[in-house]
């Protein structure tokens, strides 16, 4: 009976037009493509100038590592995703928000996603939905710690 059931299942799968099977390794590769890592240091630099995820990602998890030694109050870093034309305005607004608010003004709708500010040796992550992102859109990321965005910025590609 088991042999007949398995045989019928195999015939159904082979006979189904347009059926796409995703193997476990392929599904794992897709999930891995939706996880990003970036590192900042005491020289106000990210280790990557561009990050990208495929449009198949419904959620993205970004992990920020601070490879430096200095505390968050002196050389903190965050990671903030914005539509590129909003980058400078978000950086300027962040300066007034202060460290307690991670240099992000409360409710700033221009901020698409962000991590908290971390100091040397610390790590933080953010998971965000891509539902509001457009494939091929013009996105950038930056650190909003005062003065850092001039050096700590990059392009975010979705799609």
Long-range pairs, 21-28, Cβ under 8 A, ≥24: none
Please state the rounded mean pLDDT for residues 110-126: 98
Rounded to two decimals, the pTM is: 0.82
* CA-to-CA dists, residue 151 to 22, 46, 99, 129, 146, angstroms: 41, 8, 19, 27, 11
Q: Quote the mean pLDDT of the chain.
A: 87
CA distance 15 to 86: 51
Contact present, 42 and 68 (Cβ < 8 Å): yes
Cross-strand bridge partners of residue 110: none
Please state the rounded mean pLDDT for residues 142-158: 98
- Per mean pLDDT, which range of 3-12, 21-30, 146-155 is the poorest? 3-12
Phi/psi for 55 (5° steps) reads: -65, -15
**pLDDT given at position 31:** 82
Sorted by where each starts, the structural domains of the chain and their CATH numbers stand as: 35-158 (2.60.40.420)
Whether 54 has a pLDDT exceeding 60, the answer reads: yes
Whether 13 has a pLDDT exceeding 60, the answer reads: no
Phi/psi for 76 (5° steps) reads: -75, 155
Whether 156 has a pLDDT exceeding 80, the answer reads: yes
């Amino acid at each position: 009976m088991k042999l007949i059931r398995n045989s019928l299942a195999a015939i159904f799968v082979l006979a189904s037009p347009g059926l796409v099977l995703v193997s476990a390794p392929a599904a794992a590769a897709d999930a891995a493509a939706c996880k990003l890592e970036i590192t900042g240091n005491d020289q106000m630099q990210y280790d990557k100038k561009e990050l990208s995820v495929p449009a198949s990602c419904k959620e993205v998890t970004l992990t920020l590592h601070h490879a430096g030694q200095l505390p968050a109050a002196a050389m903190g870093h965050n990671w903030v995703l914005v539509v590129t034309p909003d980058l400078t305005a978000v950086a300027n607004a962040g300066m007034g928000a202060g460290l307690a608010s991670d240099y992000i003004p409360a409710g700033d709708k221009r901020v698409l996603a962000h991590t908290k500010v971390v100091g040397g040796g610390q790590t933080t992550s953010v998971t965000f939905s891509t539902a509001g992102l457009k494939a091929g859109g013009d996105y950038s990321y930056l650190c909003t710690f005062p003065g850092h965005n001039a050096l700590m910025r990059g392009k975010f590609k979705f799609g």
